[in-house]
A and B are shown apart, each in its own frame.
Chain A
Amino acid sequence: MSPTTLRVTGGRVYDPANGVDGAVRDIAIRDGKIVDSVDGGRTIDASGMVIFPGGVDVHSHVAGAALNFARGLTPENYRAARRFLHAPGRRQGLGGITPTTFATGYLYAGMGWTTVNEAAMPVLTARHTHEELHEVPIIDKSTLVLMANNEFVLDLLEAGETERARHVVAWLIWAAKAYGVKAVNPGGVNAWKWGRNARVLHEPVYGYETLTPATIIEGLAAIVDDLGLPHPVHLHCNNLGIPGNVETTIETMKILEGRRAHLAHLQFHAYGGDDWGTMRSAAVEVAEAFNANPNLTTDAGAVLFGDSVTLTADGPWQHLLYQLTGRKWANLDVENETGCGIVPYVYKDRSLVNAVQWATGLELMLLIDDPWRVHLTTDHPNGGCFWRYPEIIRLLMDAEFRKEQLRQIAPKARERIVLGDLDREYTLSDIAVVTAAGPARALGLTEKGHLGVGADADVTIYPGTPDGDGILFSYPRYVLKGGEVVVEEGDVRAVTEGKEFIVHPPSDEGTAEYLRPLFEKAYTMSFANYPVEIERVKGADVRPLH
C-alpha cells in the first residue's frame, strides 16, 4: 500500500509560483496533495538537496500515429538505446530517440518531469493516441488536437461563419478527447495535399478564395479564447525551419495582438538570411518582438547536437528536408484533417546551419526577459530528445561553459549568432520557472508546477551538487508523483498510472447533425465511430473552462 502521508525535510525549496527561492522548508504530503503539515508517515531527509516542482513539458511528441510511424521507420536507433528490463510490476522498454511507451514514462519520471503535453493529435487517430498514452506510466498527460488544416474548420472560416466554426471546433475537441487546440503551418499542410505550401501569411491558401494563414490564425485564436480553454491556441507558425522566416514569425505576433497564444518551438522560427548559405540567427529580433507581446508564451524548441528524428504535421517542410538530406522520408496525410512527415536527422556542430540552430535556441531563452513566458523544450524528438534537457539546463546556467562550447562549432557560424555576447546565467529559480512553473501556468494546470498547499504532490529532489560531468540535474535522488516515491536513486520504484487531462467545451446541439453529411462525403469511416468513447481515456480528468 502506498503511504498516505509523507514529509520531505531540510531541503532548499525552489517554488517560484509561491515566491520561495531556495529557503529551507519542510514539505508535507497527504493523499497525493501538498498540505500544511502531517503527523507520522515516511520522512525523506533532503538536507543538502534542492527541491523543485515536478517538471512540466509543454510541447513534446510522445504518442500517436506519427511517433509510432517514426518508431517503425528507424528500428536501427534502438540498438544503442537505453534498455529497461522486464521485472515483476515493471514492463520492459527501450529509450533512445523515440522511446517506447513504458520507457517514455520511466525516462520522464527518472529525469524529474511528471506532466507531459502531447502536442499533435488528429481526431481521426485520437483513439490510437489515447491507447498509447494509457501505456505511458507514472506521468500525467494531455493532448492538443490539430485544427489549422481541418477542412470543415477552414471552409467555415472562409465563409465567415465564425460562430458555427466555434461549435465545430468544440465538438471536435470533445470527439478527440483533447485538452487544447494545435495549429500547425496554418493552411500549409492542407496545401501540401496538392504538393504545395502556404508561405505568405496574407495570401489565400491554395484551393481557397479568401482564406489566408492569417485569417486561420486569428480565427482559431479567437475560438479558443471564446471557448475559454485553459491553454491558448498552440501555434506552429508558417515557414518552420526556413532561412528568413523571422519576418513570418514577427508578422504572426502582430496578427495575434491582444489574443492569448502559445508559439511552439520558437527556435525553428527565428532565422534570418535568404538561403542556407546566408542563414543567421534572428533571435534578437524575435525576442524583442516577443518581449513586447505579453499576451504570448513560447517554448524554446532548442537543438542539441547529435541524432534526432524530425517529426511534424508540417508535411511540406519534411519533403524539403528529405530532399536536403537524401535520407529516409515518411509522410502520412490524414483525410480532411492534417498530415505528418518524418525524416531522421543528425545535428552536427561542424554544420553552419545546425550550429546556428543550436545557438538560436539558447539565445532565445537568454534574450526573452520573462522566464515565465518561455519554456524549456526541444520539440522532442525534433531538436533533440527530452531526456537531454539537463544538458540545456547546464548551458543556460553557465556562461563560461557556453563559451567553451562555442569554440567547438563551425567557425563561420560564430559570425551569424550573438550567443558569445550573452552573459546572462539562469538561476535555480529561473530553472524552476522554465521547467515547471511557467509551462504549468501556460497550460492552465493550476495544481501543477508549484509546491503550495493544494498542489499535486509532484516533487523532484535533486542532489545539491553537480555530477562528475558538471550537470546538476542529470538525475534526481527522489521523484514523487502524486505523493508516491516513484524514483529513488535513479531507479524506478513504483509504476503508477497517470491521469489524462481533457476538456469538454460546449457545442450547439445541432453540431453533430450539421457535420454528419459533410463527414459522410469527406471521410471513409462511419460518423458514429468517429468520436473517441470517454471510456477509452483511462484516468480522464475533465478540466474546467474559464
Chain B
Amino acid sequence: MGGKVSCTLGEVTNRADFIIFWGGNPAECHPRHFTKYSLTPKGRFVPDGRKGRTAVLVDIRETPSAKAADIFLQLRPSKDFEVLTTLRALIKDQRVDPAAVAETGLTLEQLQDLVDRMKKARFGAMFFGMGLSMTRGKHMNSGALLNLAAEMNAFTKFVCMPMRGHGNVTGADVVLRYTTGYPFGVNLSRGYPRYNPGEFSTVDLLVRGDNDAAFILGADPGATMPQPAIEHLASIPTIVLDPKVTHTSRLSRVHITTAVTGVSAPGTAYRMDEIPLPLAPALRSPYPTDEEVVRRIRRAVARRPAWQPVDENVRSAIA
C-alpha cells in the first residue's frame, strides 16, 4: 500500500479526459493550472481541449474553481477520508453503508456516479490541494486519494498529484532527497541524516525550544508560524536572507538582503511535477544571490574549528 502514481503535467494536457480537483482552488491559487496544463488546452489526444474533458471539483465550499468544473461535489468539512474510503470500496464493488455515506454530505448515488465516470475515463487525473492534505486527517487523506488512483489502474489509466504552492518548494524536496535521502525535516546533528517528521520538523523543534540558532532562507516564518514558534525564533540568534526586510528579519539578529529568485538571481527551480526549469533574470540586483551568501557563510564557518560528529554507534569507515 502507498506510493504515488503520477506523471508530468503535459501527460494530463495530452491525454486526460477526466479530471478531479480535490480540496484545491486552482482558479485563485494556481491561475494557469486550468489554462496551461490541465483543463482548457488542446492536447495530442484531446483535440477538443476543454470540451474533451470532464472536470469534477470536490471541496467543502463552492470556490471560484467550481465555475470551471462540470460537476461540483460539496462534502462536509473533515469528511474527505470517509468519502475516499467509500470510493475505494465502490470501485471494487464492495458494499458500503448508506447511513455512513449520508454523514459525508454526499449521497451514495453521487459517489456511484463518480465511480462510473472514473471507470469510463480513458485517462483520469486527480489533483489535490491543501484542503485535502492540511485538514483533519492530513497525510492520511492524501494517502487515501493516492491509493484510490493506484487502484483505479486495475480498470483504466489514472494518475494523481499534489498542486504544490510556494515557488520552489518542490526543488527543496528534490535537493534534500538526493543529498540526504529524506525530503524534509532532516537532522544532521550526528553527522549523518536522520528523519522523523513530528520530531525534527520545524514547528515541533521551535515549540519545544530545541534550537539555539536559526538560519532562515526563502521563507517568512515570522508571518506564518504559530505564535510559540515565532517567540522561540525571537529568543535565539536568528539569521535571515531575504530580498526584503520581513517580519522574520525584524525579530532576527542578522538580516542580509539578497537578489530575488528568478527576477534578479539565476539558477534552477522545479515545477510541481518535478521538472527542473532554468531561471533567466531580467534585472541586475545590487544585492548578492542567496547562493553566494550561503556559500560565504559556509566558508566563514569552515574557517572556525571543525565540528566533529560524535556517535559511538557509527563507524566512518566504508568497510
- B150 adjacent to A75 (CB under 8 Å): no
- B318 adjacent to A329 (CB under 8 Å): no
Partner of B10 from A81, A83, A102, A336 at Cβ < 8 Å: A336
Residue of B with least CB distance to A132? B178
Q: For the complex, give the distance between the alpha carbons of A101 and B311 in Å.
A: 22
- A84 adjacent to B278 (CB under 8 Å): no
- Given A73-B3, A87-B308, A125-B276; A335-B14 close (CB under 8 Å): yes
Which 6 residue pairs spanning A and B have beta carbons closest together? A335-B10, A110-B318, A333-B7, A490-B319, A85-B191, A328-B3
- B193 adjacent to A94 (CB under 8 Å): yes
- Given A72-B173, A88-B302; A524-B181 close (CB under 8 Å): no
Q: For the complex, give the distance between the alpha carbons of A63 and B175 in Å.
A: 12
Closest Cβ of chain A to B146, distance in Å, is 9
B10 surroundings in chain A (CB, below 8 A):
335-336, 522-525
- A533 adjacent to B11 (CB under 8 Å): no
Closest Cβ of chain A to B12, distance in Å, is 9
Q: For the complex, give the distance between the alpha carbons of A525 and B278 in Å.
A: 11
Q: For the complex, give the distance between the alpha carbons of A529 and B173 in Å.
A: 22
- A475 adjacent to B318 (CB under 8 Å): yes
- A330 adjacent to B44 (CB under 8 Å): no
**A326 at interface, CB cutoff 8 A:** yes
Given A71-B178, A98-B181, A492-B318, list of 20 further CB < 8 A pairs? A69-B4, A82-B318, A87-B316, A124-B8, A128-B174, A128-B274, A135-B178, A195-B156, A195-B157, A319-B153, A331-B6, A332-B6, A332-B7, A334-B7, A336-B10, A336-B14, A474-B319, A475-B318, A525-B10, A525-B275
Binary interface profile of B, 137-160, with partner A (CB < 8 Å = 1, else 0)? 000000000000010011011010
- A78 adjacent to B193 (CB under 8 Å): yes
Residue of B with least CB distance to A479? B318
- A322 adjacent to B274 (CB under 8 Å): no
- B15 adjacent to A329 (CB under 8 Å): no
Within 8 A of A (CB), among B2-47: 2-11, 13-15, 36-37, 44
**B287 at interface, CB cutoff 8 A:** no
Within 8 A of B (CB), among A287-342: 319, 322-323, 326-336, 339, 342
Q: For the complex, give the distance between the alpha carbons of A521 and B317 in Å.
A: 52
Partner of A490 from B4, B156, B314, B317 at Cβ < 8 Å: B317
- A84 adjacent to B8 (CB under 8 Å): no
**A65 at interface, CB cutoff 8 A:** yes
- A101 adjacent to B178 (CB under 8 Å): yes
Residue of B with least CB distance to A329? B3
**B235 at interface, CB cutoff 8 A:** no
Q: For the complex, give the distance between the alpha carbons of A110 and B318 in Å.
A: 6
B195 surroundings in chain A (CB, below 8 A):
75, 78
* Chain A residues within 8 Å of B, Cβ to Cβ: 63, 65, 68-69, 71-73, 75, 78, 81-88, 91-94, 96, 98, 100-102, 106-107, 110, 124-125, 127-128, 131-132, 135, 151, 193-195, 319, 322-323, 326-336, 339, 342, 474-475, 487, 490-492, 521-525, 529, 533
**B183 at interface, CB cutoff 8 A:** yes
B193 surroundings in chain A (CB, below 8 A):
78, 92, 94, 100
Residue of A with least CB distance to B7? A333
Closest Cβ of chain A to B34, distance in Å, is 13
Within 8 A of A (CB), among B295-314: 302, 306, 308-309, 311, 314
- B275 adjacent to A124 (CB under 8 Å): yes
B7 surroundings in chain A (CB, below 8 A):
331-335, 339
Residue of B with least CB distance to A63? B178
- Contact-residue bracket for chain B: 35 or more
- Given A194-B157, A487-B318, A490-B319; A524-B150 close (CB under 8 Å): no
**B182 at interface, CB cutoff 8 A:** yes
Q: For the complex, give the distance between the alpha carbons of A328 and B156 in Å.
A: 19
- A78 adjacent to B182 (CB under 8 Å): yes
**B282 at interface, CB cutoff 8 A:** no
* Chain B residues within 8 Å of A, Cβ to Cβ: 1-11, 13-15, 36-37, 44, 122-123, 150, 153-154, 156-157, 159, 173-174, 177-183, 188, 190-193, 195, 268, 270-271, 274-278, 302, 306, 308-309, 311, 314, 316-319
Q: For the complex, give the distance between the alpha carbons of A342 and B123 in Å.
A: 20
Residue of A with least CB distance to B276? A127
Residue of B with least CB distance to A196? B157
- B179 adjacent to A533 (CB under 8 Å): no
- A106 adjacent to B318 (CB under 8 Å): yes
- B11 adjacent to A333 (CB under 8 Å): yes
Partner of A328 from B2, B15, B173, B271 at Cβ < 8 Å: B2
Q: For the complex, give the distance between the alpha carbons of A75 and B177 in Å.
A: 9
- Given A68-B178, A195-B157, A492-B318; A333-B192 close (CB under 8 Å): no
- A524 adjacent to B36 (CB under 8 Å): yes
- B192 adjacent to A85 (CB under 8 Å): yes
Closest Cβ of chain B to A289, distance in Å, is 35
A524 surroundings in chain B (CB, below 8 A):
8-10, 13, 36-37
A132 surroundings in chain B (CB, below 8 A):
178
- B11 adjacent to A193 (CB under 8 Å): yes
- A533 adjacent to B278 (CB under 8 Å): yes
B156 surroundings in chain A (CB, below 8 A):
195
Q: What are 9 residue pairs bridging A and B, where the CB atoms are less than 8 Å apart in the complex?
A: A69-B4, A85-B311, A85-B316, A87-B191, A92-B193, A100-B193, A322-B3, A335-B8, A524-B8
Q: For the complex, give the distance between the alpha carbons of A491 and B182 in Å.
A: 25
Residue of A with least CB distance to B318? A110
A135 surroundings in chain B (CB, below 8 A):
178-179
- B192 adjacent to A83 (CB under 8 Å): yes
Closest Cβ of chain A to B75, distance in Å, is 27
Partner of A131 from B44, B191, B276 at Cβ < 8 Å: B276
Closest Cβ of chain B to A318, distance in Å, is 10
A124 surroundings in chain B (CB, below 8 A):
8, 275
Q: For the complex, give the distance between the alpha carbons of A71 and B179 in Å.
A: 11
- A127 adjacent to B278 (CB under 8 Å): yes
Q: For the complex, give the distance between the alpha carbons of A347 and B268 in Å.
A: 39
Q: For the complex, give the distance between the alpha carbons of A110 and B270 in Å.
A: 33
B278 surroundings in chain A (CB, below 8 A):
127, 529, 533
- A334 adjacent to B8 (CB under 8 Å): yes
Closest Cβ of chain A to B13, distance in Å, is 6
Q: For the complex, give the distance between the alpha carbons of A195 and B153 in Å.
A: 7
B4 surroundings in chain A (CB, below 8 A):
69, 73, 330-331
Q: For the complex, give the distance between the alpha carbons of A94 and B2 in Å.
A: 23
Q: For the complex, give the distance between the alpha carbons of A327 and B277 in Å.
A: 33
Closest Cβ of chain A to B103, distance in Å, is 30
- A83 adjacent to B314 (CB under 8 Å): yes
Partner of B318 from A86, A96, A342, A491 at Cβ < 8 Å: A491
- A522 adjacent to B14 (CB under 8 Å): yes
- Given A85-B309, A193-B11, A529-B278; A78-B181 close (CB under 8 Å): yes
